[in-house]
Amino acid sequence: MANKLKPSAKVSLSDLPDLLTIREVADLLRVSPLTIKRWGKKGKLPAIRINSRGDRRYKKEVVQRLLGVNPS
């Protein structure tokens, strides 16, 4: 599982993949994965469901907007 984000690592927003996992988004926003799921249910951070398990992925542009960063 390459490209895992570590809370202490410096992250360049331009280097992020187009779709992020719950853990990656939680680490970026410094909140728990459960908070990310709750925000999804409230419509604050919409998720894309993939595969038969229904794993959640989040668009990089939406996360950047939530951070107040204009995607370039």
* CA 30 from centroid of its chain's CA atoms: 11
In this structure, is residue 72 part of a structural domain?
no
| pLDDT at residue 72 in the model | 61
In this structure, is residue 35 part of a structural domain?
yes
Total of domains in the chain? 1
**Tokens linked to 45:** 């951070």
In this structure, is residue 27 part of a structural domain?
yes
In this structure, is residue 5 part of a structural domain?
no
Query: Tokens 């990310």 sit at which residue?
Result: 36
CATH value at residue 50: 1.10.1660.10
Q: What proportions of the chain, in percent to the nearest 5, are helix, strand and coil? A: 40, 15, 45
Name the burial class of residue 35, with classes exposed (0-12), middle (13-18) and buried (19+) by CB atoms within 10 angstroms of its CB.
Answer: middle
In this structure, is residue 2 part of a structural domain?
no
Condensed to tens digits (0 to 9), the pLDDT of residues 3-55 reads 555 555 555 677 889 999 999 999 999 999 999 999 999 999 999 999 999 99
